[in-house]
Amino acid sequence: MRELSSDDRPREKLLRHGAAALGDNELVALVLGGGRPRTSALGVANELLRAQSGLHGLVRSTAGELARIAGVGPAKAAQVLAALELGRRTLAHAPSARVQFRVPGDAAAYLLPAFGSRTAEQFGVVLLDTKHRVIRTAIVASGSLNATVVQPRDVYREAILGAAAAVVVFHNHPSGDPTPSPDDFALTRRLIAAGVLIGVDLVDHLILGDVRYWSFKEMGKL
């Protein structure tokens, strides 16, 4: 990166103007820390972002996909994924914050940073107290999910163990499109019925995309 002027080098630019002044490619270049013969870190970063269709695609990438870019490899791929995960965690609320869900958007804002851009499907439950304040969040199933894989007993077992008065269930769509499937509707109906029997209120079922969500409650389906 010696061929760049001092003001254009990502590290110097960050120190001079702050991290917000850097482009996505420059931030990725700093995480990579170096390039490959005849290609700077900035050049490798550009290739990486292009191959993964930009920053949102990068968030949903696996280590293997990143390592296929010349000059990245397993070690630098791990650095990129670690940096992305740190970003997720800074957006996630600490359990001590006692976040309260008043509307579906509150639940979406709580869940999307941590679970919205995953490469594998996960189904989870947020345990709530009587005022719909968060007690804790648990993942109850992972992988290729459908209405037969996720069982209401798994959801409400967590609720009972956590002494929850209510729950919000959620799962992500790795495609980034939160539109519900017929299985999603079928599972929601089963969860509603089980919650009535057990005495735990199902507040909402959220489907998470990359940056969008679909709420059964918001859409009048709950």
Q: Decide: 83 and 61 in contact? Cβ < 8 Å.
A: no
Instruction: Quote the pLDDT of residue 148.
Output: 44
Task: Render pLDDT for 188-204 as a digit per residue (tens, 0 to 9).
Answer: 999 999 999 999 999 99
Is the model's pTM score more than 0.85? no
Task: Render pLDDT for 32-87 as a digit per residue (tens, 0 to 9).
Answer: 998 999 898 999 999 999 998 888 888 888 899 999 999 998 999 999 999 988 88
Average pLDDT over residues 123-147: 87
Average pLDDT over residues 124-141: 94
Report the residue count for the chain.
222
Instruction: Quote the pLDDT of residue 172.
Output: 93
pLDDT at residue 146 greater than cutoff 60: no
Q: Which CATH class is domain 95-215?
A: alpha beta
Instruction: Quote the pLDDT of residue 147.
Output: 44
Q: How far apart are the first and last CA of the chain?
A: 56
Please give the torsion angle defined by the CA atoms of residues 161, 109, 218 and 152, in that order, rounded to the nearest 10 degrees: -20
Range scoring the smallest mean pLDDT among 30-44, 63-77, 91-105, 163-177:
91-105
Range scoring the smallest mean pLDDT among 143-152, 187-196, 208-217:
143-152
Instruction: Quote the pLDDT of residue 7.
Output: 41
The overall average pLDDT reported for the chain is 88
Tokens of 222: 């709950």
Instruction: Quote the pLDDT of residue 188.
Output: 95
Distance CA 40, CA 177 (A): 35
- Those residues whose C-beta lies under 8 Å from the C-beta of residue 52, and which sit 6 or more positions away, are 58, 60, 61, 65, 66
Tokens of 184: 């999603």
Instruction: Quote the pLDDT of residue 97.
Output: 60
Give CA 184 to chain center in angstroms: 19
The domain spans of the chain are 10-91, 95-215
Please give the CATH architecture assigned to the domain spanning 10-91. Answer: Orthogonal Bundle (1.10)
